Amino acid sequence: MSLKGRAVLVVGGGGGIGLGIAEALASEGCRVAVAGRSDESLRMATRDSRIQGRLCDVTDRKQVTELFAWFGEALGSLDILVNSAGINVGNRMMANVDPADFDDVMRVNTTGTFNCIHAALPIMRQNRSGLIVNIVSLAGLRVLAVAGMPYCVSKFATGALGTFVNLEEAGNGIKVTNIYPGETNTPILDKRPTPPPAEKRARMLQPEDIAACVVAVAKLPPRAVVPELVITPPHMMVG
């Protein structure tokens, strides 16, 4: 199916996986906007003339409401929502985590995704169609020490959120796909206690790999739903 003309909002689209997805969908002829809370990253993303940008903190429901109102005026009714906003922290073990950092990770990774889905669903219900893609993490299927406790907890919750919405909204023509990438070369790696070197990052997934998955899912006909998609580099195979 052609994606030409589809209206797409990528939340967390200022860099990393989100920007890779935005660029891939723009190349398919979609009308694309990205949202993020960094003015600098949005300026970089919107150097591509095919992509519009809007500042938004997904933990602020008023800003999320304003984002979707702006999107409707700028690009029309929403066809595809991609939730890619996510953070992690350096001190990420139970023994050293700051409870405030735990709260921040949950607010961005899980509550922020909830806020955006909650705002998108009335539009998609009215249209009787829509695709929501949540960029979760392999750490939302397997507890990974390298990802840390707050991140794993938030991603397990985000995966459950997407699965529940998929079950609830299937009768309304709305599809939800949770994508669970393994290690991916994005700026979030810099938050690790020991950031990986360039040679290790080269062996990881790249943002364009995840973007190719999103394009493939978006091109499926309405009869086909992909509830979950796991993609990993060879060194992270799971059974």
Per-residue pLDDT tens over the stretch 70-99: 999 999 999 999 999 999 999 999 999 999
Confidence bin at 1 (pLDDT 50/70/90): confident
Give the domain range for residue 36.
7-236
**Which CATH number is 75's domain given?**
3.40.50.720
CA-CA distance, 62 to 45, in Å (whole number)?
24
Q: Residue 46's pLDDT is what?
A: 96
Is 2 inside a domain boundary?
A: no
Residue 22 placed within a domain: yes
13 in any annotated domain: yes
pLDDT 10s digits, 20-51: 999 999 999 999 999 999 999 999 999 999 99
In this prediction, residues 118-128 reach a mean pLDDT of 98
More confident residue, 188 or 125: 125
pLDDT higher than threshold 90 for residue 239:
no
- List the 174-181 sheet strands across, edge first: 51-55, 31-36, 7-11, 80-83, 130-135, 174-181, 228-231
* pLDDT tens by residue, 181-213: 999 999 889 989 899 999 999 999 999 999 999
Number of domains observed in the structure of the chain:
1
1 domain-assigned? no
Query: pTM of this prediction?
Result: 0.96
Q: Is residue 57 part of a domain?
A: yes
pLDDT for 237: 86
pLDDT in tens, 128-172: 999 999 999 999 999 999 999 999 999 999 999 999 999 999 999
Residue 202 lies in a domain: yes
Distance CA 3, CA 164 (A): 26
The model's pLDDT over 51-73, given as tens digits with 9 standing for 90+, comes to 999 999 999 999 999 999 999 99
Q: Which of 68, 114, 151, 180 is catalytic?
A: 151
Is 180 a known active-site residue? no
CA pair distance 25, 29, nearest whole angstrom: 7
In a domain, 121, yes or no: yes
Q: Are 224 and 166 in contact (CB under 8 A)?
A: no
Is the distance from CB of 11 to CB of 31 less than 8 angstroms? no
Q: Is residue 16 part of a domain?
A: yes
